[in-house]
Amino acid sequence: MLTDLSLSQLLSLYFKLQDSKTSVVSSTASASLRQAMVLVFERVQDEGSEADTQTSAVTLTDGSLVNLNRNEWDAYHLFDDLCTLTAKSVLKNSKNRAENPRLLKISSITPTFGLELIESILSGFAKGFRSVRVVSLWELGFKFRLNQKLPSSKRI
| b/e per residue 44-64 (b: at least 16 CB within 10 A) | bbeeeeeeeeeeeebeeeeee
Query: In a structure prediction context, what are the per-residue pLDDT tens digits for the chain, which is 156 residues long?
Result: 667 789 999 999 999 999 999 999 999 999 999 999 999 988 888 775 455 567 888 776 667 787 888 888 888 889 889 988 888 877 765 454 447 888 899 988 888 898 899 889 988 887 766 654 545 545 545 544 544 444 455 444
Separation between Cα atoms, residue 51 and residue 29, nearest integer Å: 30
Domain boundaries defined on the chain:
4-154
pLDDT at residue 56 in the model: 82
How many CA atoms lie within 13 Å of 145's alpha carbon, on the beta-carbon side?
24
pTM for this structure? Answer: 0.76
Helix, coil or strand: residue 1: coil
Task: Determine the length of the chain.
Answer: 156
Nearest to 120 by CA among 14, 36, 26, 20: 36
